[in-house]
Amino acid sequence: MTNLEAFRRALLRRRIPHLVYKGRGFLGAREVLDVMALLDAAIDQNDGLALAAVLRSPFGPLSDDALVLLAHSHKLGRRTLLQAAPQLAHLASDDAEALQRVSQLLLGLGREVDRLGPAALLEAALSDSDYVASCAGGLYGEQAAANLDRLLGLARAAELRGESVRSFAAGLRALADEEAREPEAPVVEEHDAHAVRLLTIHAAKGLEFPIVFVPECATPAAILGAERVPLEPELGIACKAMGADGTRRYGPHGNALRERRKERELSQSRRLFYVAATRARDRLVLSGRAARGTQESWRAWIDAALPDAIASGLLRVLPDGGPAVPSRAAARAPADPSETFANEPQGTHSEVRRIEAAALPAQASVTAPVTQLADAAVCPRRYHLLHELRLEERPDAEPALPDPLGPEGAPATALGTLAHRLLELIPLPATDRRAELERLLVQEGEDPAQHSQVLDAACAFLDSPLGLRMARAGAQRLKRELPFVLRLTRDGAPELLVRGQIDALLLDGEGATVVDYKLSKARPAERYAAQLDAYALAARELTSGTVPVRTGIVFLRSPGAPFVERPSPDAAGFAVIRNGLLDAGRDIALGRATGSWPKVERSRCETLECGFIPRCHGPSAAEPPA
């Protein structure tokens, strides 16, 4: 992300909470690198690079001049620490004090490296130094403190596993060398509605926000690299030749190759601009200096569409360099109200009417996936515990550890995701279905021998009557993993945006058939009624109500992978579905506004096999309280 730190500094100075996606990463944070250098220097006190990093860090810090003097006197290492006293006279007073402090710290840690665990050693190092206070006082202080807490948590977990300081430090170095993109420790909650999100356009794909800022629109849309020998698969390679004037330049072939690359870069930039411009739900703010010459950029494309966009009311332009907030008027004597409104009939001045008028209530809006709305429709309290508080429905008191010598087993959710992926990617019709599925498994990085049950389930469905119908339909009439956003409104209810993804939508002579896959054995379809009803309403909107819509579930683990179908709703049925979803959205909005999440009766919870019954209704008569 270009100029990320400039945006972060601006937000930090104004104390605006924010989250960074795909930033520098946890292992690239300065404080984490400092602690890793401290561990390396404690383990091997002759590691000159690690020692220099510690001396220059807030554990010291020594100035650059002091480091040069120490390096000139002898190689940085254990001798630097042991003979610190004779060298103090050659250093400035603050550098001498810092060197003595770091020497005592590292020599003490070196004696404890093989006796203490990683967490105990780090806690001792941080308590014997002012490092935490030094970091907390900076602009990134809150983030640095959170990163140190997370690093200590990792050290405690490693200590519980029996790891030594040496193995813990080696593990951190291995992750850093692999460029593992671990996010920094969160300073604000992930779901904080008031936090600004900083993320790349690639990371924003599939997401939506109320307000989106797209900065730096004047950046060139196509930046060709300075490679000496550009390569194109179809055109080959090209290189510059020395001209008669002594200048290196490309010939016709090289220019054609560069034009091809430029067009590809422009096409990719146009796709990214489309993604960036469609992430905002309510308002999109595009910023960037005026376009320069004929250079193509997002700003140049915006300027080309300005007249039509302004005429249609889609775009409003602020002048370049103009103030975002109207500037204060020049100082002047206060006006006399009797003179200001002398010629206005009482109660008719526009500004007075505007102030006296009651403010219009803000339109509430709720955005939720289908599965969450299904939970809210059944029980608002269950929705709140599962999706707002993110509590585990059935937490184990002591989860069973996998057998390290036994076969590896993937969790049920991962297997279900894998089955969905295979049924999305397999070309239809396929002559040898199992061989094709095994090939896809290999492409997904999985071992077909370990997923025989998933292969059996997918093959059984593809051989079923519904699977054969889907194979005959062709790609134009079969939409797999189809995403949708459904906007629903009603007087007195908040606007509802329903997000979801239909596993398969089949359009053939029997109408529109919504297919939902479950990697489980057959269960009553009514258990998934709310989810299927939402899919049916989305399919009806996608087909403009021109064909009947049927929904059903394929239970992949049942013999023959049967398709358990639900009746097709009529117009009145769709109205009931629509109102049910809006009622669920209203309950979510009310719960968020008031903190009240009503629960359903215990018998209904037992029918749903809800895991929150003891929390909501207390233990049953047959079950003694814990």
Spatial contact of 65 and 98, defined as CB atoms under 8 Å apart: no
Per-residue confidence (pLDDT) for residue 329, from 0 to 100: 39
How far apart (Å, rounded) are the C-alpha atoms in residues 588 and 555?
A: 31
- 366, 497 contact by CB (below 8 A): yes
Asked whether 56 and 62 are in contact (CB, 8 A), the reply is: yes
514 and 558 fall within a common domain: yes
Percent of the chain with pLDDT over 70: 78
Q: Give me 483's structure tokens.
A: 């995403």
pLDDT of 617 reads 84
Sign of CA pseudo-dihedral 323, 325, 326, 328: negative
Please check whether residues 134 and 244 belong to one and the same domain.
Answer: no
pLDDT level of residue 328 (50, 70, 90 thresholds): very low
Q: Is residue 416 part of a domain?
A: no
Q: How many structural domains compose the chain?
A: 3
In-domain check, residue 616? no
- Percent of the chain, pLDDT > 90? 5
Instruction: Judge if 247 and 171 occupy the same domain.
Output: no
Q: What is the CATH number of the domain that holds 158?
A: 1.10.486.10
Q: Tell me what pLDDT residue 10 has.
A: 82
Q: Residue 439, Cα to own-chain centre: how many angstroms?
A: 30
Q: Please report the pLDDT score of residue 475 as a whole number.
A: 82
Q: Which of 104, 110, 151 is nearest to 129 (CA)?
A: 104
Is 496 found in the same domain as 377?
A: yes
Can you tell me the distance from the alpha carbon of 132 to that of 153, in angstroms, rounded to the nearest whole number? Answer: 15
CA distance 553 to 548: 17
Cα 529 from Cα 358, distance rounded (Å): 43
Report in angstroms the alpha-carbon separations of 10 from 15, 18, 185, 195, 225: 9, 11, 20, 14, 31
In terms of domains, do 388 and 479 share one? yes
Q: Which two tokens stand for residue 431?
A: 């002559």
User: Residue 313: CB partners within 8 Å, gap ≥ 6?
Assistant: none
Describe the crossing of helices 48-56 and 30-43 by its angle, rounded to 10 degrees: 130
| DSSP for 228-297, written as a single string | SS-EETTTEE---EE-TTS-EE--HHHHHHHHHHHHHHHHHHHHHHHHHHTSEEEEEEE--PPP-TT--B
CB 238 within 8 A of CB 254: yes
155 and 275, same domain (yes or no): no
* Residue 347: per-residue pLDDT: 54
The answer to whether 619 and 625 are in contact (CB under 8 A) is yes
Tokens 């554990």, located at residue? 59
CA distances from 307 to 294, 310, 317 (A): 19, 5, 11
Q: Are residues 92 and 149 in the same domain?
A: yes
Nearest to 295 by CA among 276, 269, 317: 269
Asked if residue 63 belongs to a domain, the reply is yes
Q: Which residue has the tokens 């109408």?
A: 511
Predicted pLDDT of residue 408: 45
pLDDT at residue number 186: 58
pLDDT in tens, 247-270: 777 778 777 877 887 887 888 888
What pLDDT shows up at residue 97?
Answer: 84
Q: Which residue has the higher pLDDT, 392 or 562?
A: 562
Q: Is the dihedral of CA 517, 519, 525, 531 positive or negative?
A: negative
The conformation of residue 193, written as its DSSP 8-state character, comes to T
In order of 10, 122, 274, the CA distances from 22 in angstroms are 19, 27, 21
Average pLDDT over residues 339-363: 54
Does residue 408 lie within any of the structural domains?
A: no
Q: What is the reported pLDDT for 514?
A: 92
Residue 119 in any domain: the answer is yes
- Residue 142 sits in the same domain as residue 212: no
With H, G, I as helix, E, B as strand and everything else as coil, classify residue 605.
helix
CA 339 to chain centre: 58
Q: Give the separation between CA 62 and CA 52, rounded to whole angstroms.
A: 9
Closest CA to 508 of 476, 540, 552: 476
The single-letter code of the amino acid at 90 is H
Assigned domain for 362 exists: no
Q: Which domain holds residue 376?
A: 370-393+464-584
Q: Is residue 275 part of a domain?
A: yes
Separation between Cα atoms, residue 38 and residue 25, nearest integer Å: 19
pLDDT tens digit sequence for 176-235? 776 555 555 555 555 666 788 888 777 777 677 888 888 888 888 776 665 667 777 777
CB atoms within 10 A of CB 199: 17
Q: What is the mean pLDDT of the chain?
A: 78
DSSP single-letter state for residue 60: S
The pair of three-digit structure tokens given for residue 624, joined into one six-digit string: 């003694």
In the block, residue with structure tokens 């968020």 = 592
Q: Which two tokens stand for residue 76?
A: 């940085």
Dihedrals φ, ψ of 517, to 5°?
-95, 135
Give the end of a domain, one of 279, 311, 343: 311
Tokens standing for residue 614: 């003891």
| Same structural domain, 376 and 503 | yes
Would you state the structure tokens that stand for residue 64, as one six-digit string? 């650059």
Instruction: Write out pLDDT tens, residues 478-503.
Output: 998 888 888 898 888 888 888 888 99
- Give phi and psi for 149, each to the nearest 5: -60, -40
Neighbours of 272 (CB within 10 A): 17
pLDDT at 513: 92
**Confidence (pLDDT) at 84:** 57
Give a three-class secondary structure readout of 140-182.
CHHHHHHHHHHHHHHHHHHHHCCCCHHHHHHHHHHHHHCCCCC
Q: Which of 20, 348, 25 is nearest to 176 (CA)?
A: 25
Closest C-alpha to 565, from 578, 577, 553: 553
| DSSP state at residue 542 | H
* Closest by Cα among 29, 168, 49, 52 to 102: 52
SS3 586: helix
Both 60 and 163 in one domain: the answer is yes
Beta-bridge partners for 242? 248
Residue that finishes a domain, picked among 284, 311, 338: 311
Q: Give the pLDDT confidence of 421-465 residue by residue, as tens digits.
A: 888 888 888 788 888 888 888 887 788 888 888 899 889 999 899
Q: Which amino acid is at 396?
A: D
Q: Which of 542, 583, 537, 600 is nearest to 366 (CA)?
A: 583
Q: Residues 169-190: pLDDT tens digits?
A: 888 888 777 655 555 555 555 5
| Tokens standing for residue 190 | 């992930």
pLDDT of residue 515: 92
Please classify residue 109 by burial: count the beta carbons closer than 10 Å to its beta carbon, then call 0-12 exposed, 13-18 middle and 19+ buried: buried
**Cβ contact 200:1 at 8 Å:** yes
pLDDT at 362: 47
* 161 and 41 in a common domain: yes
Do 170 and 240 belong to one domain? no
Cβ atoms of 195 and 18 closer than 8 Å:
yes
